[in-house]
C-alpha cells in the first residue's frame, strides 16, 4: 500500500528513474564500473533519498534544503547521462530519454519547492 511519500509524483519518478539508471549502467564497459557507473548510480539514488528525507522533515528550512540537494543530484545525474552517450559508453537512444525525464523531474522539484514555500504558515519555520 503506497504511503504519502509514494503518492508524491516527484518521488515516484525519482525512484523509477533510479531503477532505470541502474539497468542502463549494467551495459556500461567494465572499466567504467568505479567511475561513470558508480557516479550515476549514487547520484540517481541520492535524488530519491533526499526527496524522501525532505518529506519527513518538520521545518520549512529542512524540507527545502533537502529538495535543493535532490535537485543538485538530479542535475548531476542528467549531466552524466548526457556525457555517457557523448563518450560512447551507451547509445544516445538509450540515455537521452532518461536525461529528458530528469528535466521533467527537475521542473517538478522546482514546483514542489514553490508549493512548500506557499505552505509555509502551516509548517514550523525554525
Report, as an integer, the average pLDDT of 116-121: 74
Is residue 126 in some structural domain? no
Is residue 47 in some structural domain? yes
Residue 119 has pLDDT above 80, yes or no: no
- Summarised one tens digit per residue, pLDDT across range 93-116 is 999 999 999 999 999 999 999 998
CATH number, domain with residue 70: 1.20.1440.60
Is residue 102 in some structural domain? yes
CB 91 within 8 A of CB 50: no
Number of domains in the chain: 1
Residue with cell 518538520: 58
- Summarised one tens digit per residue, pLDDT across range 41-69 is 999 999 999 999 999 998 889 999 999 99
Residue with cell 535532490: 70
Is residue 33 in some structural domain? yes
Average per-residue pLDDT for the chain: 92
DSSP lists the bridge partners of residue 124 as 59
Please, is 96 exposed, middle or buried when counting C-beta atoms within 10 Å of its C-beta (0-12, 13-18, 19+)?
Answer: middle
Residue with cell 551495459: 27
Residue 120 has pLDDT above 80, yes or no: no
* 70 band by pLDDT with thresholds 50, 70 and 90: very high
Nearest to 62 by CA among 116, 122, 15, 8: 116
Please, is 82 exposed, middle or buried when counting C-beta atoms within 10 Å of its C-beta (0-12, 13-18, 19+)?
Answer: middle
Domain that holds residue 59: 9-120
Is residue 125 in some structural domain? no
Residue 123 has pLDDT above 90, yes or no: no
- What global pTM score does this model have? 0.89
Q: Which residues contact 4 (CB under 8 A, 6 or more apart)?
A: 55
Is residue 3 in some structural domain? no
Per-residue pLDDT at 122: 55
Is residue 1 in some structural domain? no
Query: Torsion angle, CA of 99/103/109/112, rounded to 10 degrees?
Result: -140
Report, as an integer, the average pLDDT of 16-41: 95
Is residue 4 in some structural domain? no
Amino acid at each position: 500500500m503506497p504511503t504519502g511519500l509514494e503518492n508524491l509524483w516527484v518521488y515516484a519518478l525519482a525512484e523509477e528513474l533510479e531503477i532505470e539508471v541502474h539497468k542502463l549502467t549494467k551495459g556500461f564497459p567494465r572499466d567504467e564500473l568505479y567511475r561513470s557507473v558508480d557516479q550515476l548510480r549514487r547520484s540517481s539514488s541520492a535524488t530519491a533519498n533526499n526527496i524522501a528525507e525532505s518529506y519527513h522533515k518538520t521545518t520549512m528550512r529542512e524540507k527545502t534544503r533537502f529538495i535543493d540537494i535532490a535537485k543538485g543530484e538530479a542535475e548531476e545525474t542528467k549531466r552524466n547521462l548526457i556525457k555517457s552517450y557523448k563518450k560512447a559508453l551507451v547509445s544516445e537512444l538509450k540515455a537521452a530519454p532518461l536525461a529528458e525525464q530528469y528535466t521533467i523531474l527537475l521542473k517538478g522539484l522546482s514546483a514542489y519547492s514553490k508549493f512548500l514555500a506557499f505552505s509555509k504558515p502551516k509548517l514550523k519555520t525554525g
